[in-house]
Amino acid sequence: MTDFPGVPTGPRDGRRLRVLAAMSGGVDSAVAAARAAEAGHDVTGVHLALSANPQSFRTGARGCCTIEDSRDARRAADVIGIPFYVWDLAERFREDVVEDFIAEYEAGRTPNPCLRCNEKIKFAALLDKAIALGFDAVCTGHYATIVERADGSRELHRASDLAKDQSYVLGVLDERQLAHAMFPLGDTLTTKDEIRAEAERRDLAVAKKPDSHDICFIADGDTQGFLAQHLGTAEGDIVDEDGHRLGTHEGAYGFTIGQRKGLRIGHPAPDGKPRYVLDISPVDNTVTVGPAEALDVAALTAIKPRWCGAPPAGPGTYTAQLRAHGGETEVMAERIGETGLRVTFTEPVRGVAPGQAIVLYDDTRVVGSATIAATERAQAVAS
């Protein structure tokens, strides 16, 4: 029996764990399932069918929910020597991820569908079903670490290899979900090439399969076209900070805060500098653009906080991450009642949009996640 870091050889009472391994059809989840099985657990593989018509999802071995992916996952399970099933969660995925994505853009916000999928599908719908069937844990190929404290509680931490860390999209997990989560890859200081080499040693055919990067339910990668198909087109104005009309667009949902390219204004700003999207107003279908410095955000309010353990007792200093592949910035954060969060940045930050998630960290520990509701511009605060 091999004891990999991040893969317990058994729960606290010493018995063998029944583990449900979510197998996307990619190399990470396949190696994670293999490590859990080699550590001595009773592992069952499951692939989540997330579309009623999987052929409408991405093809070319780039996704996590296509017919190709389910076949790759099945072949990997056969090599590992574990039972394998396909579970149909297409309806739940459509309601909780796809429809949420469309509604958020329609409201002028910028959602993260991968984060929502982790919250609603992999660690809610899947975990609930797993527990009902008698499984002890759900295993995934995410790069994150779980630390068990002396009192038996569990903490979510960044992966040992910060370059591959995925704790940002797992910041929505609560204490109950962490109690049943297993991330066999999180503690390993190995490169992706070494993970692929391990897959090859294990004779897993997914060893050379490309990673998935885009949104799985947008087949051609054209987010604006996907939104237009579902929301239609509606001509509106592009204006400057003074309300002067600079151009038109076919739908405010096609823009994101901080966007520079594709504005189609047609003429430069008076100072000759680039202009960026500063605000999106779905009420009057207006997009406001302006200079880069107008993007500086000094503070924000967030809603729907989810805490990875006990919520903070009072104001505190943390670091915050604002996007999946972004860096950290120092903040002061304070809860507003039970459903709000006030965050002040030590230094202004850019590209912050309502709908995004902000994840708070105490060193490497994930404190919790919340959805950005509103931002305060540094220029406005200064004036």
Residue 7 has pLDDT above 70, yes or no: no
Residue 219 has pLDDT above 90, yes or no: no
Architecture of domain 296-382: Beta Barrel (2.40)
From the list 260, 259, 356, the residue with the least C-alpha distance to 300 is 356
- pLDDT for 245 equals 92
Beta carbons of 362 and 320 less than 8 angstroms apart: no
What is the average pLDDT across 116-129? 89
Which residue ranges make up each domain of the chain? 18-208, 233-292, 296-382
* Rounded CA separation 350/364 (Å): 23
CA angle in degrees (0–180, nearest 5) for 334-100-227: 125
From the list 355, 381, 366, 278, the residue with the least C-alpha distance to 320 is 366
Active site residues: 117, 216
Beta carbons of 204 and 76 less than 8 angstroms apart: yes
Give 295-312 pLDDT, tens digit per residue: 999 999 999 999 998 899
* Rounded CA separation 367/39 (Å): 29
Query: At how many degrees (to 10) do helices 223-231 and 99-106 cross?
Result: 80
Q: Cα 35 to the chain's mean position, in Å?
A: 24
pTM for this predicted structure: 0.88
CATH superfamily of 233-292: Adenine nucleotide alpha hydrolases-like domains (2.30.30.280)
Q: Which two tokens stand for residue 226?
A: 């996907």
Lowest mean pLDDT among 27-36, 50-59, 237-246: 50-59
Same fold, 233-292 and 296-382: no
Collect all residues with Cβ–Cβ distance below 8 Å to 41 and sequence separation of at least 6: 7, 10, 16, 17, 18, 19
Architecture of domain 18-208: 3-Layer(aba) Sandwich (3.40)
